[in-house]
Structure 1
Amino acid sequence: MAVYVYCIAGEKHPLHLDGVTGVGEPPSQLRTVTEGSLRAVVSDAPAGLRPKRRDLTAHQDVQNRLMADGTVLPLRFGLTAEDDEAVRVVLEERAGEYVDRLQALESCAEYHLKVSQDEEALLRQILEDSDEARALNDEIRSGTAGPDTPLALGELVAREVQARQEALAAGVVEALRPFARDQETSQPTGSDFLSASFLVAEDQDELFLTTELSLANQMGDEFQFRLHGPLPPYSFV
């Protein structure tokens, strides 16, 4: 029978699984598959599994419970294997890699930060700072602009927005990077100009959070900081 794989842990992890159930309806029972010094937490894989709220929550609850007792490699939702033996084979073949990652994630959690800026405030800043943008905007408002002026203004503003937001994103990451063991950025979406994950050790947690709050306060109300964590370090497995 196919098995659902939640995470991988080392031999020293206590793996307290009592009272925790897995994905599926009814909820599946958790068990471990052992190979050498590594253990995978698995359950029977329900048929037709989809990323529904109940199952996503169950998957996350398993990670959170085990993270509270030690370091694990949290696997993404939906990972399955053919059977327990297939899991053992992977644990054996990739043992060195998994042991190295467990050491790298020791006593760490992930924090994910997204930052956006009020669009109207940003446009006001560009018009205040750029003589060229202001002149083009004045021509359009006065009715004296040529047919190509709106396009020219739009292209100028787009370049300014990109340059400013790239600089802002780099500045935020640079300020937080000293308190993280590792860092990954992803393509921001919507109005966000930064989407970054930080791997933060327990002994740096307070400094990281204090610095993030200080940055948000310094940058002002026109910026929205959205920090999620501590989370299982999915981005660093």
Structure 2
Amino acid sequence: MEKATIKTTGSNGRYLYAVVPGSQERVYGCLGINGGNVYTIAAKDVAAVVSDVPHQKIRPERRHFAAHQAVLKRVMLDGDLLPMSFGIISQGPKAVRAILSRNNKSVQQQLKRISGKAEMGIKVTWDVPNIFEYFIDVNRELREARNKLVQPNYLPTQQEKIEIGRMFEEILNLERERHTKQVERVMSKRCSEIKRSKCRTEIEVMNLSCLVDRTLLSDFEAGVLEAASHFDDSFAFDFNGPWAPHNFVDLEIDV
């Protein structure tokens, strides 16, 4: 962490990246949005990680998202943090301190929840050429229903096509649930909390966010390998992190 003089412009807003424990002054360098100097503004026993911004609205551009994430990554090196959502701007130091004071109780509760921990992600997909044909092969009920529709000289109705699509969707979700529970049983021993995120494509089996003790990340990785060993080559496992614990911070900041 740098020890430098904090130079600010009174007319600027303050962009909020995170809240960290402690009241000491900290300076992280010119990592912020538009190359802004990143530093802390403290109130009582917590501090906001901020940088000066000349405008009261930051466009959701890739470079701004990248700067936001770069700041969180740097701050994580020093310990715990509560990441803020992209785009939160306060009027100035006085307003930032007022925000911290108003939200002190909830901030302390959330800091306790994530103390010493980081977020890790697990993503599992079906690694098959065609997900529908895969389920035709492995599910007899779906296979028999499909075979009825493709028999010679048979013209399926629109309702029959809709029904087989509904059947496929139901089987897909049942299999997702079964496989997700299987992975959660293995990983629950290695995670403080696990949260599910919605699958975005048909080939996704699960997207899990895991709150993990930072001293046990190698144990988490071993757990992923153990979970993967229960699946065949039709599945692909991937894990990522450590990240700031976005999915485990339930903090409604009153700006």
TM-score by length of 2: 0.81
Q: Where in structure 2 are the equivalents of 1:117-128 lying within 5 Å?
A: 117-118=126-127, 123-124=132-133, 126-128=135-137
8 Å contact from structure 1 (residues 63, 232) kept in 2? yes
CA RMSD of aligned residues (A): 2.4
Rounded to whole Å, the distance in 1 between the matches of 2:24 and 2:213 is: 18
Q: Which runs of 5+ in 2 are unaligned?
A: 1-11, 250-255
Q: Which of residues 1, 5, 9 is equivalent to 2:20?
A: 9
- CA-CA distance at 1:49 after TM superposition: 2.0
- CA-CA distance at 1:130 after TM superposition: 4.3
- CA-CA distance at 1:88 after TM superposition: 0.8
Q: Where in structure 2 are the equivalents of 1:3-82 lying within 5 Å?
A: 3-11=14-22, 15=26, 17=28, 19-24=29-34, 27-47=35-55, 48-82=57-91
Aligned pairs, number: 234
| Residue 228 to residue 150, structure 1, CA distance change in 2 (3 Å) | same
Give CA-to-partner distance per residue, 1:89-133, whole Å, 9 cap, x none.
Answer: 111111121122112211111012222214557545643554443
Which one is further off, 133-142 or 174-183? 133-142
8 Å contact from structure 1 (residues 3, 80) kept in 2? yes
Rounded to whole Å, the distance in 2 between the matches of 1:31 and 1:203 is: 27
| Residue 188 to residue 126, structure 1, CA distance change in 2 (3 Å) | closer
Which amino acid in 1 is paired with 2:33?
A: V
| Residue 52 to residue 126, structure 1, CA distance change in 2 (3 Å) | closer
| Residue 154 (1) aligns with residue 171 (2) | no
**In the alignment, what sits opposite 1:141?**
150
| Residue 37 to residue 135, structure 1, CA distance change in 2 (3 Å) | closer
**In the alignment, what sits opposite 2:115?**
106
Name the SS of the counterpart of 1:50 in structure 2. coil
TM-score by length of 1: 0.86
- CA-CA distance at 1:71 after TM superposition: 1.1
**In the alignment, what sits opposite 1:224?**
236
| Residue 159 to residue 21, structure 1, CA distance change in 2 (3 Å) | closer
8 Å contact from structure 1 (residues 136, 145) kept in 2? no
8 Å contact from structure 1 (residues 180, 204) kept in 2? no
Which one is further off, 120-129 or 69-78? 120-129
| Residue 40 to residue 60, structure 1, CA distance change in 2 (3 Å) | same
| Residue 206 (1) aligns with residue 214 (2) | no
Name the SS of the counterpart of 1:178 in structure 2. coil
- CA-CA distance at 1:163 after TM superposition: 1.1
Rounded to whole Å, the distance in 2 between the matches of 1:90 and 1:204 is: 34
Name the SS of the counterpart of 2:48 in structure 1. strand
- CA-CA distance at 1:213 after TM superposition: 2.2
Q: Which runs of 5+ in 1 are unaligned?
A: none
Which one is further off, 227-236 or 175-184? 175-184
Rounded to whole Å, the distance in 1 between the matches of 2:17 and 2:166 is: 47
Structure with more of its chain in helix, by fraction: 1
